[in-house]
Amino acid sequence: DTGRLEVAGLAAARAELPDLHERVCAARNGMVGLPAFRFRRRYRDADREVGGFGAMRFALHRDAGGGVDGLVAYRTHLDWTWSNPPCGDLQVEELWAATEESEMSLWRFCLEHDLMTRVTAQWRPADEAYQLRLANPRAWGQTLGDGLWLRPLDPPALLAARRYGREDGLVLEVHEPDGSPPRRFRLEGGLEGATCVPSTASPDLSLGTAALGSILLGDAAVERLHRAGQVEEGTAGAVIRATAMFRWSPLPWSGAFF
């Protein structure tokens, strides 16, 4: 790690968060930008105990040039008596990292914290990488849940706004749940961007707006939705092509609870 960690106060954490959050948003599909008032209200309970955990603490990661590229907010609870060894819990409230280096450093800071025997975090990405650095990766437990549900209102605009894992083109027929006539679009996309325009050609794939919302951010496999009957294949091989085209890494993460 060419950077450094430093303990920070509430004012410093609040000051650094908006710019850092914007950098993280730019690097991950599905993240939700926050208005200014949300940042002003951030950490409003930082000085209070919550659920048996103490006041919130903060640490910043600075890169080699001194700029902040990571932040963690956390609370601790220590259960320690004269007859028992230290048994503490560290609860990660937020961890924002704009680089892989800062992410690894902040997780290491949390997991190697003195007197802590358990570390918990909520609303984290499904593909957290630090698990693979553990001597015992099975010690890392994870429960998956829904973070964001998308209902596409303007499919061509959404499809044209993202990049794709491979260069390809598909004609998509999108069905609305209200039974209105389906619309067809020609999607051409790759790593450099995409276009999506109306089309009258025969569809390679037919799907509803719910299925489109599932695959739009790059985590749900088109092939799996096809097996579940939510995507209909009109051209042989289109499902496999679309699966490779829509897949993206890292996996999407909303990064916010609202």
Closest CA to 169 of 251, 252, 248, 244: 244
Q: Tell me: do 117 and 184 sit in the same domain.
A: no
For 196, phi and psi rounded to 5 degrees? -145, 115
Residue whose tokens read 């993206």: 248
Q: What is the distance between the alpha carbons of residues 257 and 238, in angstroms, rounded to a whole number?
A: 35
**Amino acid letter, 256:** A
**Would 147 be classed as within a structural domain?**
no
**Would 37 be classed as within a structural domain?**
yes
**Residue 41: what pLDDT?**
81
**Parallel/antiparallel/unpaired status of strands 168-175 and 183-190:** antiparallel
Q: Tell me: do 34 and 135 sit in the same domain.
A: yes
Task: Show which of 139, 169, 185 is a domain's final residue.
Answer: 139
**Would 69 be classed as within a structural domain?**
yes
Which CATH number does the domain housing residue 233 bear? 3.30.1050.10
- Contact predicate 20/96, CB 8 Å: yes
**Would 87 be classed as within a structural domain?**
yes
Residue whose tokens read 């957290």: 128
Q: Tell me: do 104 and 206 sit in the same domain.
A: no
Which CATH number does the domain housing residue 130 bear? 3.40.630.30
The range of the structural domain enclosing residue 61 comes to 4-139
Q: Tell me: do 127 and 205 sit in the same domain.
A: no
State pLDDT tens for residues 123-167.
999 999 999 999 999 999 999 988 888 999 999 999 999 999 999
Q: Which residues of the chain are under the pLDDT cut of 50?
A: none
**Would 108 be classed as within a structural domain?**
yes
Closest CA to 32 of 148, 152, 164, 151: 148
Q: Tell me: do 183 and 133 sit in the same domain.
A: no
**Residue 258: what pLDDT?**
64
